[in-house]
Amino acid sequence: MKKDTLMNLDVKSNLAKLLATENITIQHDNVKTASFDVKNRVLTLPIFKQQSGDVTDMLIAHECAHALWTPYKEWEGITDPELRSYVNVLEDCRIDLLIQAKYPGTVRNYLNGFDILEKKDFFGLFGKDINKDLMIIDKINLRSKSLQRLPFGWSEQDKQWLAKVDTMKTFDDVLTLAKEILDWQKQQVEEMRKLPDFDNHVIAKNYELSDDEDEDESDTESQEDGNSEGNSEEQNNFSNEEADDEKDSNQSGASEKSDEKKEEAKSEGVAQQYGSGSGGDATQRKLLKAVTDDSYTQKSEELLDDKSKGFAYGNLPEPNLKDITSYKEFLKTFATHKSKQNYGNYDVWLRDTFKRFKKDNKKTVNYLVKEFEMKKSAQAYKRASQDKTGIIDPLKLPSYKYSDDIFKRLTIIPDGKNHGMMMLLDWSGSMSDTLMHTVEQLLNLVEFVRKVNIPFEVYFFTSERKYWASNETTETKSFNHKDGDWRFEDFNLVNCFSHRMTKKEFELAGMYMYHMAFYYNASYVYHKHMDSDMWMARNESYGIPGEFYLGNTPLNEALVFCNKLIPMFKEKYGIEKMSFITLTDGGANSFRHTIVDKNDQYGTKQDYDKTAIIQSGKKKMVLEGYGDLTNKLLRFLRTSYDLNNIGFYILKRVRKWDIEKHMPGKDYMQREQQYQKARKQFTKDKALAVNKEGYNKYFLLDGKKLKVENFDLSQATVKKGTSSELKRIFAGSMKNRLVSRVILSKFIEEVA
């Protein structure tokens, strides 16, 4: 779907909402005509070839009038097709007058819209005399649609009907008048049927009331029956005499039945055609209808965009926040799991190793904390302003003769914004070989934000569910799906770190995360690279609870949850500058284009071919291709909650194509120059910022160079008396330590 078309659809949606004077739901689909569901307050508009013009605006105004004034229950209660056709015409007359009176600007749309449609014969008037060839219901329809501009010659009887039409105020008035006109029209048709040339009458032909077609079909059926009987006689080897006797008998019987049918037709008259239900089979009756309305319905297809596949509308489901694994539940689950395992000396080894890791990183993290505070202070002073205090500065008094500025000044330093951070960590199977270094990066980040008192929450997401691991009989659902919601899969969102943790809980959570990273990383380390302690640790590890296993990538589901979590987090802690971080190594699970429909036997309906539109409140997301949902959800979160979206994407292998696809250059030479420059920057910083929809900043990371580096100067070899060499080694080691903490360093750049 082209972007300009989508933009025009949005414009028409806003127009409809303004006309309806309420926040109705607007949908565009490949339907034949506009319609309004007055029960659910959903206006469905066709997708036109031209998304602008008087015809479109006229239809929108007309359907909004239905939204305002047509009662749903009364309209749905009309089951008689004849009465429904008459009520439809009269109700259109009533609500069109109302919408034109309420919004005079729509009168021009109706005038020009009718002229356009009439020239294209949308009402089937070509070759017809509007005064002689139409019933009163169609004259009333055209009178309203043309805004009384057609040259009708009204009879006295017609004027009486028009007077009643003009006095309709309510839907009950419409229903009463429709019944009255319909009954009168049936009587007129009954009188016309007495004419000898009724079948050739122009009214009979225009409204398909002639019996000629039925008689032809009856004759054809009789001939077929006769042929069937003849064939049957030959196949059964009847004698000539028996055949002749049977033929005479059949002819006599057929003649008698034909005479009986003719007499019945004469006696029953129109009752056979327009009976109330007890006078004949309703499916065989010739129904009265408004032919101009039928013609418009058929012709309206010419206005539609036949190349559009339409749209499938669905709402974001309501996430069940109780399904989130809280950090307390995370710690409790691990403690319970450990108590059931035999792990020898592994726990001692893990605690010592984790403690050593924290000690090695402590100095660098503290250095970055100080650097961050200085940057914040520098930015604050940069925004400082000076104001006069109104108090005279004695030192400036000597200059009062040539300067008015003799007052003391006060430097005002604006308060720093209250920062906040929320992070989503990909806990999928493809992360297993880079999980150790990724968790090391994460531990540095959370240690930093904790020290600078930034409120934060870190979640990892996986498809592995609680009830799968524990064999529980009752499963919880991630989403409270209802009819009309897009279906999202159940998953596990685990709150692994939080600023709300006590120091003990924070240390324990860090050790468990380090343990899980080591557990998976050990499977990808060659035996020759493992010392005896690591070898023992891998064999004696107490493993991982099943609900925390690596699974697939329910990133989209996690983002839907964040649509609830982020505003709650910002409001609770008064966050002014919110950083939202995603760290993944691949795309999210595919979107299945499945909408919840409890009336369907499978409980869902699927629209794979249509363009998916996801609605959340007043906003909507139009998915323009495979994998577009993640981008749209991120943009939705960013614009809704004023986020600084930071994305980190881990590349397992840095191939040329992975970088080049983000280059905006058009020709080969330009793209090649951009690639060479980007590759050089990537090697230097271990990260490359590229453009990505939905993100403020999106960084590519080299998965093979994520290891956090530390440097011990006591182990460095320095020649005696060469202070410059010592300075160079120190500067180089500090640079490597900062660059290696790529996630933390980029985060600081964005929030400082």
What is the DSSP code string of 483-495?
Answer: TTBBP----EEEE
Query: Quick one: which of 647, 688, 633 has its CA closest to 425?
Result: 647
The pLDDT tens digits of the residues spanning 261-270 come to 444 443 344 3
Q: Which residue has the higher pLDDT, 693 or 56?
A: 693
Q: What is the CATH number of domain 319-371+420-713?
A: 3.40.50.410
Domain boundaries, the chain: 3-209+286-308, 212-284, 319-371+420-713
Per-residue pLDDT band at 470 (split at 50, 70, 90): low
Torsion of CA 609, 613, 614, 617, to 10 degrees: -150
Q: How much of the chain exceeds pLDDT 70, in percent?
A: 71
Q: What CA–CA distance (Å, rounded) separates 81 from 59?
A: 23
Q: What CA–CA distance (Å, rounded) separates 670 from 608?
A: 38
**Token pair for residue 530?**
């493992």
Query: Quick one: which of 383, 413, 397, 422 has its CA closest to 646?
Result: 422
Average confidence (pLDDT) over 437-442: 91
Q: What is the pLDDT of residue 521?
A: 81
Find all residues with CB under 8 Å of 644, minimum gap 6, and list them.
Answer: 577, 578, 579, 580, 696, 697, 750, 751
Average confidence (pLDDT) over 391-398: 64
Helix (H) or strand (E) holding 410: strand 407-412
Q: What is the pLDDT of residue 658?
A: 82
Name the DSSP class of 686: S
Choice among 300-309, 387-396, 469-478 with the minimum mean pLDDT: 387-396
Q: What is the pLDDT of residue 543?
A: 86
Find all residues with CB under 8 Å of 660, minimum gap 6, and list them.
Answer: 671, 675
Direct distance between the N- and C-terminal alpha carbons of the chain, in angstroms, rounded to an integer: 41
Q: What is the pLDDT of residue 738?
A: 61
Q: What is the pLDDT of residue 51?
A: 57
Q: How much of the chain exceeds pLDDT 90, in percent?
A: 35
- pLDDT at residue 281 is higher than 60: no
Q: What CA–CA distance (Å, rounded) separates 690 from 659?
A: 9
Q: What is the pLDDT of residue 562?
A: 97
Per-residue pLDDT band at 257 (split at 50, 70, 90): very low
SS3 408: strand
Most confident of 274-283, 463-472, 506-515: 506-515
Tokens 């989130």 belong to which residue? 324
Q: Establish how many alpha carbons lie within 13 A of residue 451's alpha carbon, considering only the half-sphere containing its beta carbon.
A: 18
Q: Which residue has the higher pLDDT, 552 or 23?
A: 552
- pLDDT at residue 153 is higher than 70: yes
Per-residue pLDDT band at 100 (split at 50, 70, 90): very high
| Helix, strand, coil % over all residues of the chain, rounded to 5 | 55, 15, 30
Q: What CA–CA distance (Å, rounded) separates 657 from 174?
A: 68
- pLDDT at residue 133 is higher than 90: yes
Choice among 149-163, 228-242, 360-374, 680-694 with the minimum mean pLDDT: 228-242
* Burial tier of 601 (Cβ tally within 10 Å: 0-12, 13-18, 19+): exposed
The pLDDT tens digits of the residues spanning 579-620 come to 999 999 988 998 878 888 877 656 667 666 788 888 887 788
Q: What CA–CA distance (Å, rounded) separates 312 from 622?
A: 10
Choice among 298-302, 520-524, 619-623 with the minimum mean pLDDT: 520-524
Query: Quick one: which of 349, 384, 224, 203 has its CA closest to 286?
Result: 203
Per-residue pLDDT band at 242 (split at 50, 70, 90): very low
Find all residues with CB under 8 Å of 412, minimum gap 6, and list them.
Answer: 384, 385, 386, 387
Q: What is the pLDDT of residue 591?
A: 84
Q: What is the pLDDT of residue 236?
A: 40
Are 435 and 706 contacting, i.e. CB atoms less than 8 angstroms apart? Answer: no
In SS3 terms, 586-607 reads as CCCCCCCCEEECCCCCCCEEEC
CA distances from 345 to 155, 521, 541 (A): 106, 19, 9
CA distances from 188 to 153, 181, 194, 267, 589 (A): 19, 10, 10, 17, 66
- pLDDT at residue 229 is higher than 50: no
Are 309 and 610 contacting, i.e. CB atoms less than 8 angstroms apart? Answer: yes
The pLDDT tens digits of the residues spanning 299-319 come to 877 777 777 777 888 899 999
Query: Quick one: which of 542, 186, 633, 93 has its CA closest to 350?
Result: 542
Query: Quick one: which of 633, 635, 672 has its CA closest to 656?
Result: 672
Most confident of 543-547, 673-677, 727-731: 543-547
Average confidence (pLDDT) over 536-559: 88
Average confidence (pLDDT) over 254-278: 41
Q: What is the pLDDT of residue 702?
A: 86
Are 42 and 50 contacting, i.e. CB atoms less than 8 angstroms apart? Answer: no
Other beta carbons less than 10 A from residue 304's beta carbon: 16
**Token pair for residue 32?**
């034949």
Average confidence (pLDDT) over 547-566: 95
Choice among 383-397, 416-430, 564-578 with the minimum mean pLDDT: 383-397
Average confidence (pLDDT) over 320-347: 91
Q: What CA–CA distance (Å, rounded) separates 313 from 611?
A: 9
Helix (H) or strand (E) holding 558: helix 555-573
- pLDDT at residue 687 is higher than 90: no
Looking at every residue in the chain, the average pLDDT score rounds to 78
The pLDDT tens digits of the residues spanning 73-82 come to 898 899 999 9
pTM for the full predicted model: 0.69
β-sheet bridge partners, residue 48: 304
Are 497 and 507 contacting, i.e. CB atoms less than 8 angstroms apart? Answer: no
Q: What CA–CA distance (Å, rounded) separates 38 from 22?
A: 12
Per-residue pLDDT band at 25 (split at 50, 70, 90): confident
Q: Which residue has the higher pLDDT, 97 or 10?
A: 97
- pLDDT at residue 289 is higher than 80: yes
Per-residue pLDDT band at 230 (split at 50, 70, 90): very low
SS3 702: strand
Name the DSSP class of 287: P
